[in-house]
Structure 1
Amino acid sequence: MTSTAPATAGISAHPEAQRRTLTVLVASQIFSGAGLAAGITVGALLAQDMLHSTDLAGLPSALFTAGSALTALVVGRVSQAHGRRPGLAAGYFTGALGSVGVIAAATLGSPVLLFVALFVYGAGTATNLQARYAGADLAAPAHRARALSTVLVATTLGGVIGPNLAAPTGDLAATLGIPRLAGPFLLAGAAYFLAAAVLFLWLRPDPLLLARDRQAAAPAPTSATDPVAAAEQRRPGVVLGALVMIVTQLVMAAIMTMTPVHMHDHGHGTAASGLVIAVHVGSMYLPSPLTGWLVDRYGRLVVAAASGLTLLAAGIVAAAAPADSVALLALALALLGLGWNFGLLSGTAIITDAVPLATRARTQGLVDVSIAIAGATGGLASGMVVSAASYSVLALTGGVLSLAVLPAIAVTAHRR
């Protein structure tokens, strides 16, 4: 029988349920990490091959991030009404259907079907991000960032393995009569389906519903009797958290989308671009436990500021890297992933602190819509910038833009 006593700053009111929730989320994130990496690795190359143009090479990223925007809204509303389990499972299943559609489009040579399927495929990306919120529903306030980081780091294994399977899955696709560049979507479809199955079967009790039951059973805290609640009320609000995540997503999506195209245009093969993207995805998720500890230990604002500075460094390195240097491009995308990780975890913690359970899932979904739109904008604009100027200009522009979070953080810190 689980306790209904309110959590203290450092202890979850439902430790056993929290451990089970994190275990199930970790398993599903490993599968979904492999699924989302497929689109990152070959989506732009597939569009470039089918359209015979670099101008719209950023369109796949824009489409599946636009699809993720709609899914974030739907998953947020379903989770608000029925809990995390049905919302997340439905999102991953939709992503699996999108993967099947991409394979069909490549086989038929239909750009229109490709674009529709990539939009649907974006559901998996949105759901992968929405899952992080489920890790924090039952977490004590002082451990929220670390709970979020546990869910995010689980994506690393699948995210690193997925891009490195680009060549083998391409070979498999060729033996099946499917274009090689569509091969990674075979992996994506299976991975998203398995992630949906894991959540639907085993995410019980539902963490969001259980957290609401706990809150309903506990006496309402006041600032006089609950210093943790009072401290949370003084933390930055939804606007700052959303801004941090929007800027980091925009910059990351723009530079990441065009890096495989930039490498391909300078003679690098799929294996080399897959390696660089694997380093990038690993850097997006692998540092999460350390980042979560830093956010809980030193505060949300410090790590949010670090995200802007790290993304600036990524842009500078990417712009300065010789086109034939896989090592420097990998370093640039490692910094890009790390800056994104700093921004996502600090921004998510800010949002979770600021929003009450009664409206939490719906608000989180709306925030993730903004993040997805930012990613779509970055992905779509990236191809145009590279076509009109160069990859170096794109990288430097993104790095400078990342500094936009610093004034907002400074104002918030001053008010506090």
Structure 2
Amino acid sequence: MALFQQPATGSRRPGGASVEDHPRIARKITWVLFLSQGLSSAGFIAAFTVNALVAVDLTGRTAMAGVPGALYVAGQACGAVVWGLSLERLGRRGGLALGQVLGVLGSAIAILAVMDRSFAAFLFGLVLVGVARSAVDLGRFAAAEVHLPADRGRAIATVVLGSTVGAVFGPLLVGPTGRLAATAGGPELAGPYGVGLAGLVLAALLIVAGLRPEPRDVGRELARRYPESVPSQTTRSLGEIVRQPGVIVATGSMVCAQLVMMVPMSITSVHMTAHRHPLTA
């Protein structure tokens, strides 16, 4: 059944929405994704702030500081492939919610691993969190597909802004949650992973309850009503895509950018702790 109906009389069929409802639906979906991204990002960044510290604490070796970040990004990269192949079948709502549930599981494992001082379990939890992050990051494209081409850039920017807001507030919660964990008798470094757990639970509930109608179906309906908005080129295989010069340049740029970003993010907290700065610094 079509999501948007536009009979000559202006009436609606049961279960359908008039075409005039599309802007409202698109705005709703975009802002749900904005809030979900903000909650998820706050948890991801709060946890990432202390990943290196946990590695050093559990192993006693500063050389292990970069291992958590490496496995986190590996989980993110592998997850991106999995979600890319499965979101069409699962739907955007189902795929995003499932990814966030995996993030909740990974955060819980990380908390228990810090408490039990198990480095292997901690790394496994971070891989799951990385897989969750890759699902959450695809939410910006779910916002794009419910808009016509002229508005897709703004929709993506709005959702990315949600991630930015979360990235600003997430680190501010590291100190308070660390103190809370210590007050409860647990390790101080376990606290920030509670931010990820709580944020992802809220984000998953928001996606399940608020991401309606299904963005995939809205996108299909837009393509049916506005066929000129659909690219006319044929579908290409993954091998064909990765051989394109533009893709090669973009991939190389991302590799260099990630290298520049991950190195200081992995070592800064370790150096600050060595100089006796608290988690609130």
Normalising by the smaller structure, the TM-score range is 0.7 to 0.9
Cα gap change, 1:98 to 1:3, in 2 (>3 Å)? same
DSSP 3-state at the match of 2:165? helix
Q: Which residue of 1 aligns with 2:149?
A: 141
Cα gap change, 1:241 to 1:145, in 2 (>3 Å)? farther
Q: Which residue of 1 aligns with 2:110?
A: 102
1:264 pairs with 2:273 = yes
Offset of residue 217 of structure 1? 4.4
Contact 2:75 2:128 in 1 (8 A): yes
Q: Quick one: which amino acid aligns to residue 68 of structure 2?
A: P
Task: Could you list the structure 1 runs, at least 4 aligned residues long, displaced by more than 6 angstroms after superposition.
Answer: 221-224
Cα gap change, 1:221 to 1:66, in 2 (>3 Å)? closer
Q: Which residue of 1 aligns with 2:96?
A: 88
Offset of residue 256 of structure 1? 1.9
1:251 pairs with 2:260 = yes
Contact 1:106 1:182 in 2 (8 A): yes
Cα gap change, 1:109 to 1:254, in 2 (>3 Å)? same
Structure 2: how far apart are the matches of 1:199 and 1:222? 26
Q: Which residue of 2 aligns with 1:202?
A: 210
Contact 1:95 1:192 in 2 (8 A): yes
Contact 2:49 2:265 in 1 (8 A): no
Structure 2: how far apart are the matches of 1:112 and 1:63? 11
Q: Quick one: which amino acid aligns to residue 263 of structure 2?
A: A
Residue 31 (structure 1) aligned to one of 22, 30, 39: 39
Structure 2: how far apart are the matches of 1:167 and 1:51? 22
Residue 193 (structure 1) aligned to one of 188, 194, 201: 201
Structure 1: how far apart are the matches of 2:248 and 2:213? 31
Q: Percent identity?
A: 39
Structure 2: how far apart are the matches of 1:31 and 1:123? 16
Offset of residue 251 of structure 1? 2.3
Tell me the TM-score normalised to structure 1 length: 0.56
**What is the aligned length?**
254
Contact 2:148 2:222 in 1 (8 A): no
Offset of residue 167 of structure 1? 1.6
Unaligned runs of 5+ in 2: 7-19, 233-244
Offset of residue 176 of structure 1? 2.6
Contact 2:176 2:280 in 1 (8 A): no
The 5 A counterparts of 1:28-177 are: 28-177=36-185
Contact 2:87 2:95 in 1 (8 A): yes
Contact 1:76 1:87 in 2 (8 A): no
Cα gap change, 1:122 to 1:107, in 2 (>3 Å)? same
Structure 1: how far apart are the matches of 2:164 and 2:84? 24
Q: Which residue of 2 aligns with 1:183?
A: 191
Structure 1: how far apart are the matches of 2:45 and 2:142? 22
Offset of residue 20 of structure 1? 1.1
Cα gap change, 1:223 to 1:145, in 2 (>3 Å)? closer
Offset of residue 238 of structure 1? 4.2
**RMSD (CA atoms):** 2.6
Structure 1: how far apart are the matches of 2:119 and 2:99? 24
Offset of residue 158 of structure 1? 2.6
Structure 2: how far apart are the matches of 1:219 and 1:82? 24
Structure 1: how far apart are the matches of 2:182 and 2:159? 35
Structure 1: how far apart are the matches of 2:229 and 2:175? 56
Deviations, residues 70-119 of structure 1 (Å, cap 9, x unaligned): 22222222212232111111101100111100111111111111111111
Structure 2: how far apart are the matches of 1:52 and 1:245? 32
